[in-house]
Amino acid sequence: MTSHHTLLTKAIEALRARTFYAAYPEHPAPAIYGETADADGQTKFKTALGKRFTELKQIGESGWAGQEESPYLQQPLNISYPTFTVETLITKSKEAFHEWRKISKEDRAEILIESLERVKKRFFEIAYATMHTTGQGYMMAFQASGPHAADRALEAIAAGYEELSRVPGTALWDKPMGKFNIQLNKEWRAVPKGISVVIGCSTFPTWNSVTGIYGSLITGNTVIVKPHPGAILPIAIFVAELQQVLSEHNFNPNTCQLAVDTFDKMITKELAEHADVKLIDFTGNSVFGSYLEALPGKIVFTEKTGVNSVILDSVEDADKVAANLAFSVNLYSGQMCTAPQNFFIPEGGIKTATGTITFEQFAEKLVANINSLVDNPKAGPFVLGAVQNKKTCERLDEATALPGKVWLKTRTFENPMFKQARVATPVVVEVDASRKDVFSKELFGPIVLLIKTKNTNGSIALAQELAKTHGAISCGAYTTDIVVREKIADEMALAATPVSFNLTGGIYMNQNAAFSDFHVTGGNPSGNASFTNPEYVAKRFTWVGHREPVKA
């Protein structure tokens, strides 16, 4: 390895230290990415509309298809991609596997990091592609699908490289036996599992996929990327750059393939069930994720649905807390797996530095802050973005019929840049603590349930029970009491749920940072894997040892 050795070393060091590190700057500043980078990216995206995506190095397509629709324009993108039969994808992946598995980890890391450096030049194009497939606001689309995704990919490369470096390639084994020694030459090989299928989601098409893609590739597996039919272009750009770098290094571009399908003819199950597929990465609903986990002979990494809680006990400043949580609720219209849903508030109220505020007073503060952000023409439309799936809007309408007081109804607003955007504001409903049937499932979208509990211990017990039984990916907690803080940390840790304590200002419970935060723990029903712990990459290969007596 030559050109990217320093970057890989820094990534490995960051992975060990868990401190802040970002290889790819998250701010779309001209000083960082170039004066014309934004305009050039937007132009490239617009040029792609209505055309065939011809950047892939894959051949032998059976047809062309594409069904992406912009949530901002509510019009199809009319981009078509080459489609392939499952047998074609599997055959080409098997052919590439026996070349790729024999490449050194150094060379694999070099190629993979180079692909990220190429993708870096297309962050703005990817941002617009993400906006118009997922509905994310511009800044989130840029950050999540570009720099943050690239950091997560680099993290997976670094984690895989670390695990591959844990065992030496060879060693002299010298065992004293008294008057003589037994000497053996030993060698160890990291043998990849085989073909990996990465199944993408509609809301975060790159961020949720690249860890599986690059985690499998660094450990010597070939990859078939099966994007969600509604969000193809962002990850197609990643795959195209990977294939370009592979070709330039005289390696088989089918080492990583794109497998596009349509809503009416999906190939996900056929791919997943194929005998030659050994690894599966999945982000999506729990029903399909559980089906994948139950497939025999597969190693499956899932991120499924969860029920995320906020435990409110005591605060320094109730207004700052309400503002922070209101932003978390509004961010991308709640279409994040880490978004808060259930707010547990003691019936006796929330203690503050100046006295206790009642359940009703906090509900009023939260609603006021949600409305304030929504009604801010310079912030609201860009924080909320657009709604990716029409079903989410239907779910919001249904939420107002939930049993309990409706504190805030959903409404539409006008996006100044996209008059036809599919938009919706949060719903806030008070639900009785006895109605577990209502709040023990994920209500995807900007839906907030305010649940009045007997006391903080009751709040903790409910949050833990939900996490253990139904899964949770994130949890927020507010307390000024160190004893209560430790109890929350301990109880939620037993439910394998990370807690964000006392967040105010510019950091939110929705956010996870590469090289520092584990995304999903794999310890509760929200998913069986974690971005990116050692198990996430180590399970993608097997150590095999050989030995032979030393010749005299």
- Output the six-digit token pair for 414: 């006008």
In a domain, 33, yes or no: yes
- Output the six-digit token pair for 251: 């390696």
Q: Helices 147-164 and 138-145: crossing angle, nearest 10°?
A: 20
User: Any idea of the CA torsion for 516, 521, 522, 523, to the nearest 10 degrees?
Assistant: 150
In a domain, 515, yes or no: no
- Same domain as 364, residue 244: no
User: In the chain, helix, strand, coil percent, each to 5?
Assistant: 40, 20, 40
Quick check: 473 and 492 in contact, CB under 8 A? no
The residue range of the domain holding 210 is 10-305+532-546
Quick check: 528 and 522 in contact, CB under 8 A? yes
- Same domain as 313, residue 289: no
- Same domain as 349, residue 299: no
- Same domain as 314, residue 300: no
Q: Which residue has the tokens 């599986």?
A: 212
In a domain, 2, yes or no: no
- Same domain as 201, residue 240: yes
Quick check: 222 and 255 in contact, CB under 8 A? yes
For the entire predicted model, the pTM comes to: 0.96
Q: Helices 105-120 and 233-248: crossing angle, nearest 10°?
A: 130
- Same domain as 388, residue 282: no
Q: What are phi and psi of 394, to 5 degrees?
A: -65, -40
pLDDT of residue 3: 84
CA neighbor of 322 nearest in space, from 352, 355, 300, 299: 352
Burial class (CB in 10 A: 0-12, 13-18, 19+), 87: exposed
For 472-490, the pLDDT digits (tens) are 999 999 999 999 999 999 9
Q: Which residues pair with 545 in a beta bridge?
A: 188
Q: DSSP readout, 357-397? A: E-HHHHHHHHHHHHHHHHT-TTTHHHHH---S-HHHHHHHH
DSSP H or E stretch at residue 545:
strand 541-549
Quick check: 453 and 431 in contact, CB under 8 A? no
- Output the six-digit token pair for 497: 């749920």
Low pLDDT (below 50) residues in the chain: 1
In a domain, 512, yes or no: no
- Output the six-digit token pair for 131: 């906006």
Rg (CA), the chain: 25
- Output the six-digit token pair for 213: 């893609």
pLDDT of residue 2: 59
Dist. CA 545–CA 331, nearest whole Å: 50
Task: Supply the DSSP symbol for 39.
Answer: H
Number of domains in the chain: 2
Quick check: 105 and 221 in contact, CB under 8 A? no
Dist. CA 529–CA 301, nearest whole Å: 5
pLDDT of residue 1: 44
User: Any idea of the CA torsion for 15, 18, 20, 26, to the nearest 10 degrees?
Assistant: 50
- Same domain as 282, residue 315: no
- Same domain as 322, residue 360: yes
Dist. CA 264–CA 269, nearest whole Å: 13
Quick check: 231 and 389 in contact, CB under 8 A? no
In a domain, 406, yes or no: yes
In a domain, 551, yes or no: no
Return the CATH number at 488. 3.40.309.10
For 125-176, the pLDDT digits (tens) are 999 999 999 999 999 999 999 999 999 999 999 999 999 999 999 999 999 9
Return the CATH number at 84. 3.40.605.10
- Same domain as 105, residue 222: yes
- Same domain as 368, residue 316: yes
Quick check: 427 and 456 in contact, CB under 8 A? no
In a domain, 99, yes or no: yes
Sign of CA dihedral 373, 377, 379, 381: positive
- Same domain as 296, residue 268: yes
Cα separation values, 44 from 139, 148, 454, 516, Å: 18, 21, 56, 33
In a domain, 506, yes or no: no
**506: how many CB neighbours lie within 10 A of its CB?**
8
How far separated are the first and last CA of the chain, in Å rounded? 36
- Same domain as 401, residue 298: no
